[in-house]
Amino acid sequence: MSLDPVAVQSLVRGALDEDLGGGRDITTEALVPPEARARGLIVAREPFVVAGLPLAREVFRQLDAGLIWTAVDEGAEAAAGDTIASVEGAARPILTGERTALNFLQRLCGIATQARIASKEVEGTGAVVLDTRKTTPMLRAAEKHAVAIGGASNHRMGLHDAVLIKDNHVALAGGVGRAMALAREAGLRPGDIEIEVSDLREVGEALEAGAGRILLDNVTPEEAREAVRMVAGRAIVECSGGLRPGFLRPYALAGADYLSLGWLTHSARAADISMEVQPIR
């Protein structure tokens, strides 16, 4: 998914307000004269997939629209020591924006990197790696952007754009069949409904009710294979629950259509990135 420019502006404005407290960068103002000029090089300290450059650029634009920004492409693969972006001009806004820009980049590059690793792990199987709603509050669009940049795919954006009956819905409804019946009574088409199941009995109930997509939660690869055999193409099969890179291929080979990983957005390690600031005389 692409980042909405208006949303980027709003997100960056909030992040800068958080750091500046609506006030000033008192350290930089005390040490750096207004006329000082500098060049900031954003450098990879380890290999990763680049994501989040529009946010980093917007940080510096909001602080000083006259700064000159250059960067590699989103989705590029950086090696340790590579300069992925540079910003040049007045020194004060470069120093003020350094941490906020790096925070965005470190988080999103880390997610994009793991998304690429996960996608490559299932290459050739037909399975697709998805993200989930397990995202940082207010950063969902940015984190899902990073997932897509890394080569994986986005699941639903939120509660508003797809039907997913989870285990707690099933518990409150009184079972898989009853949950599907209530969804149909509410005007939802069975083929548009995804429902979470925990065993083969519930797979059968979901199939009988006409579910279009079945989410196998916390199953083994062997259980996934048996469920796929049972479904026999009558519904889309998705596996989820504790999945992470390095453990995906057995589920893909079991025949699952999708593998959804909350891990991508709640546990991916931040990439190691720094800024080297050079004075311009």
Q: What is the mean pLDDT of each run of 10 residues along the chain (281 residues)?
A: 91 97 93 97 98 98 98 98 98 98 98 98 98 97 98 96 96 97 95 96 97 97 98 98 96 98 97 97 84
Q: Is 144 a catalytic residue?
A: no
Of 37, 120, 133, 134, catalytic: 134
CB distance 48 to 108 below 8 Å: no
Quote the pLDDT of residue 36.
98
Rounded to whole angstroms, how far apart are CA atoms 276 and 118?
31
Rounded to whole angstroms, how far apart are CA atoms 116 and 77?
10
Residues paired with residue 214 on neighbouring β-strands, in sequence order: 195, 237
Q: Tell me which CATH code domain 5-118+268-280 carries.
A: 3.90.1170.20
Q: Is 99 a catalytic residue?
A: yes
CB distance 194 to 238 below 8 Å: yes
What are the C-alpha distances in Å from 222 to residues 63, 235, 261? 55, 19, 19
Q: Is 199 a catalytic residue?
A: no
Quote the pLDDT of residue 281.
84
Of 24, 166, 189, 229, catalytic: 166
Of 45, 99, 234, 269, catalytic: 99
In the block, tokens 């026999």 appear at: 232
Of 19, 25, 77, 217, catalytic: 217
Domains 5-118+268-280 and 153-260 share a fold: no
Rounded to whole angstroms, how far apart are CA atoms 58 and 75?
18
Q: Is 123 a catalytic residue?
A: no
pTM of the model: 0.95
Of 74, 131, 143, 196, catalytic: 196
Quote the pLDDT of residue 6.
96
- Burial call 28-37: b when 16+ CB within 10 Å, e when fewer: beeebeeebe
Q: Is 196 a catalytic residue?
A: yes
Quote the pLDDT of residue 12.
98
Range 153-260 classified under CATH 3.20.20.70: yes
Q: Where are the domains of the chain?
A: 5-118+268-280, 153-260
